[in-house]
Amino acid sequence: MDLIEITGGNPLEGKIRISGSKNASLPMMIASLLTEEKVELSNIPNLSDVTTLIELMKSLGAAIEVDQTSDFGGKMTCVTKNILYTEASYDLVRKMRASFWVLAPLIARYGEAKVSLPGGCAIGIRPIDFYLSILKRMGVTLDLKDGYVYASVKSRLRSINFTLDFPSVGVTHFFLMMSSLAEGESVLKNAAKEPEVEALAEMLNKMGAKITGHGTNTITITGVPSLTGTKVNVPPDRIEAGTFAIAVSATGGEISLDSVNSDEIDVLLNVLEQSGVEISRSKKNLKISADRKRNSPVNISTAPYPGFPTDLQAQFMALMAIANGTSVIKETIFENRFMHVQELARFGANIKLKGDTAIIEGIERYNSAPVMATDLRASASLIIAALSAKGKSTIRRIYHLDRGFDKIEKKLRSCGAVIERKED
Ligand code: UD1
C-alpha cells in the first residue's frame, strides 16, 4: 500500500487549477443512466470514487468511455441503451455511499433493483430511512434482506409531496432523479441547497426534466416519460478549493486558485479573513496570502449550505490547532466526524472533545509524525498538518485521500511542497 511522505515547513507559493467537483460528478454520472441517449460530461476529476462508479455503471449495462489524459479535466461519455443488470453489488457499493443512488435510475427505468446497503466514510450512522420512505411513497415495494435493498415497482413511479426532516444532499439528488421520471408533480420541502444539487437539477433540465426551485428549500418537479442525452461541464470542486485555501493559511505563502466558484466558499473565506488571512476574490479566481504569523482563533459550527461545510471541518481544525489561542468547532451534520482528532494529536495538537464539540488549544507549531488517514476529508487535514510541521511526516492509508483529491501531490509540489508518494 502507498504512503505519502511530507517534509514540512515550506510556504506554499504558486498557482493551482481546481478540478471538477467530486460531489457533483457522482450524481451527474448516475443521472446519465436515466436516459438511453448519449451523455457527455467534461471536467470529470481523476479520482478513485469516479473509477469505482464507472465500474458500477458498466456492471449495470452502461457503455462508458473515459479520457483522463488532460490536465484540464477528464471527459466521459455514457450510453445506456438498456439496463442489462439490476444488481449493485456489495463490493462496489461498500466503497462509496453515493453508489446507493443508482437505485434511482434502476427503479425509474427498469422497475427493479437489488442494491447493497451503502458504505463510504465511517463518519456516523448515516441511515437510509429518508430514501426508503420516498421509495415506498412512490409506490415501490421494498424488502431488506442479506444486506441488500430489493426494490420493485409494476407501473410508473407516483409523484409525491415530501418534507425532509433534515436537508440531506444525497436524498435531494435521489428525489430529483426519481421524480423526474415519475407521473405528475412532486414537491420536496426542506431540500438541500448545496451547489451540487443545483448542478444536478440543471443537468436534468437539459435532459428534458421540469425542475424549478433548485437552490431554494422547496423544489418542484413535473415528471416526464423519458429524458434525452446531453453535454455538460462538471462545476469546480468547492471542497478542494477550500482545502488549498486552508493549507496556505497554515503554511504561509501565497497561492492563486483558478477555476473556482468563489461565492460557493464565501463562508470559509470570511472565517479565514477573520483569522488574519488576506484574500482577493474575483468570480473565478482567488488569491490567498498568509504571513507566517499564527492565525487568530475563530469558532465555527458546521451547517447545511450556505453554512460552514462539514467537508472542510477537519481541514479547518488542522489550522485552528496551531492558532494563537483557543477555538471551538461544533459538528452538527455527522455525529462521528472527529476521527482526525487523535491523528492530529500525534502532531502535538491539543484538542478535547465534548459530544459534538471540539475545544482546540492552539499550539506554537506541529511536530512531524507518522499518522494514518481515517476518512476522506480527515486525510486532507493530516496533509495540512504535515505541510506545516517541522520535519518529515508519513501518512498511511492514503486510499482515503485518492477517493476525493485529484493529483494533490502534483498540485502541492508545484507550489513548493516537499511531498512524495512511496510504497510502504
Ligand atoms: C453528501 C456528501 C458528503 C457531505 C454530506 C453533507 C456526496 C457524495 N457526499 O453526503 O461529502 O459530507 O453530503 O454535506 O455528495 N440522513 C438521515 N437519513 C437518510 C439520509 C441522511 O438521517 O436517509 C442524515 C445523515 O445521517 C447525516 C445527514 O442526514 O446526519 C446529512 O447527510 P447527507 O446530506 O445525506 O450526506 P450524504 O448525501 O451522504
Q: Going by CA atoms, what residue is nearest to atom 22 of ligand 1?
A: 127
State the pLDDT confidence band at 119, using cuts at 50, 70 and 90.
low
Among protein residues, the one whose CA lies closest to atom 8 of ligand 1: 23
Cα 313 to Cα 65, 171, 216, distances in angstroms:
35, 22, 24
146 sits in the region (left: phi over 0; alpha: psi -120 to 50; else beta) called left
pLDDT digits 0-9 by tens, 157-191 = 999 999 999 999 999 999 999 999 999 999 999 99
Q: Evaluate if residue 154 carries a pLDDT over 90.
A: yes
List pLDDT tens digits, range 401-419. Answer: 999 999 999 999 999 999 9
pLDDT band of residue 122 (cuts 50, 70, 90) is low
Closest CA to 171 of 155, 190, 153, 152: 190
Tell me the C-alpha distance between 194 and 33, whole Å. Answer: 22
Average pLDDT over residues 368-392: 95
Is residue 404 within 6 Å of ligand 1 at its C-beta? no
In this prediction, residue 209 carries a pLDDT of: 98
Mean per-residue pLDDT over the chain, rounded: 94
> Is 415 noted as a catalytic residue in this protein?
no
Which ligand 1 atom is the nearest neighbour of the CA of 304?
14
Residue of the CA atom closest to atom 12 of ligand 1: 311
All structural domains of the chain, each given as residue ranges with its CATH number in brackets, are: 2-19+236-423 (3.65.10.10), 22-233 (3.65.10.10)
CA distance readout (Å), 171 to 189, 226, 286:
12, 21, 32
**Does residue 230 line the site of ligand 1, with CB under 6 A?**
no
Q: How far apart are alpha carbons 78 and 88 in whole angstroms?
A: 18
- Specify the pTM: 0.96
133 lines ligand 1 (CB under 6 A): no
End-to-end CA distance of the chain: 6
Kind of pairing between the strands at 418-423 and 391-396: unpaired
